[in-house]
């Protein structure tokens, strides 16, 4: 246990220091804030709705995360392999689980930070009318979990390939399929080829479906367990693939 936490804290701090000194991280955060706010106003009609709520802001998060989270996680393991530092990292007397969790938590910290930086919009809206702060906080929680789910997929893709571009493409494809499965257009198309129960089952596995409750300000056990299960599955797959590279050392 000591080796786990020592290795976790050391790698977590290293990852955060690298992000703090990387201009791309700041560009990444700025891109999300700009895109999310722009979509909320220009497409979602945030103020035009005449209600003091942020539904128009949160509804675009799944589609932004489909692209941004794979971009954030694509270098996690593939860059280590490309630069030759992966062998040194895996040679450390640290459990694979600590290495995987540290990289994931560092990326998730950055994703949650960029969400926190959008809270001035929440505060601004509260000055214009009564805001359901509990529902808004729940929606932020859902966005954090949604980002974590996409990141876990990206981490697994990064562990598979030495190429950042290939890692990004794999994660983008899986994330898009996991999101688009809940769209009515996709469901109706699949219903033409698959039995209705199977079509409904696939639609229920959509990120959109799991996120819908949080958007409404409701913490549903199904949505919470879904995101936690996706995160756990992604990290387990990452750990298995990383472990094979270190010769089965646990």
Q: 131-146 pLDDT, tens per residue?
A: 788 889 999 999 999 9
In Å, what is the CA distance from 177 to each residue of 39, 69, 115, 160, 181? 22, 15, 24, 19, 6
- Band of residue 250 on the pLDDT scale cut at 50, 70, 90: very low
On whether residue 190 sits in a domain, the answer given is yes
Q: Who has greater pLDDT, 40 or 138?
A: 138
Number of domains the chain contains: 1
Prediction pTM value:
0.90
Q: How far apart are CA 125 and CA 39, in angstroms?
A: 16
On whether residue 176 sits in a domain, the answer given is yes
On whether residue 250 sits in a domain, the answer given is no
pLDDT attached to residue 44: 65
On whether residue 86 sits in a domain, the answer given is yes
Q: How far is CA 53 from the centre of its chain?
A: 23
Neighbouring CB atoms inside 10 A of 191's CB total: 14
Q: Which domain holds residue 149?
A: 2-245
Residue 49 in this model has a pLDDT that exceeds 60: no
Diameter over CA atoms, the chain: 60
On whether residue 10 sits in a domain, the answer given is yes
Q: How far apart are CA 74 and CA 33, in angstroms?
A: 20
What average pLDDT does range 186-202 have in this prediction?
Answer: 70
On whether residue 79 sits in a domain, the answer given is yes
On whether residue 183 sits in a domain, the answer given is yes
């Amino acid at each position: 246990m000591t080796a786990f936490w020592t290795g976790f804290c050391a790698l977590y701090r290293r990852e955060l220091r690298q992000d703090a000194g990387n201009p791309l991280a700041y560009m990444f955060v700025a891109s999300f804030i700009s895109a999310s706010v722009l979509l909320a106003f220009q497409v979602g009609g945030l103020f035009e709705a005449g209600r003091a709520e942020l539904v128009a802001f949160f509804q675009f998060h799944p589609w932004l995360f489909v692209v941004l989270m794979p971009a954030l996680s694509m270098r996690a393991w593939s860059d280590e392999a490309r630069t030759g530092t992966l062998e040194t990292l895996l040679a450390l007397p640290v459990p694979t689980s600590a290495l995987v969790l540290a990289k994931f938590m560092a990326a998730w910290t950055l994703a949650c930070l960029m969400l926190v930086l959008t809270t001035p919009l929440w505060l601004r809206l509260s000055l214009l009318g009564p805001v359901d702060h509990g529902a808004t906080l729940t929606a932020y929680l859902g966005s954090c979990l949604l980002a974590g789910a996409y990141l876990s997929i990206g981490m697994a893709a990064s562990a598979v390939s030495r190429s950042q571009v290939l890692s990004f493409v794999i994660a983008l494809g899986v994330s898009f399929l996991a999101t688009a499965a809940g769209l009515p257009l996709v469901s109706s198309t699949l219903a033409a080829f698959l039995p209705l129960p199977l079509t409904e089952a696939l639609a229920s596995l959509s990120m959109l479906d799991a996120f819908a409750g949080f958007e409404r300000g409701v913490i549903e056990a199904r949505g919470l367990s879904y995101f936690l299960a996706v995160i756990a599955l992604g990290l387990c797959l990452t750990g298995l693939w990383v472990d094979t590279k270190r010769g089965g050392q646990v």
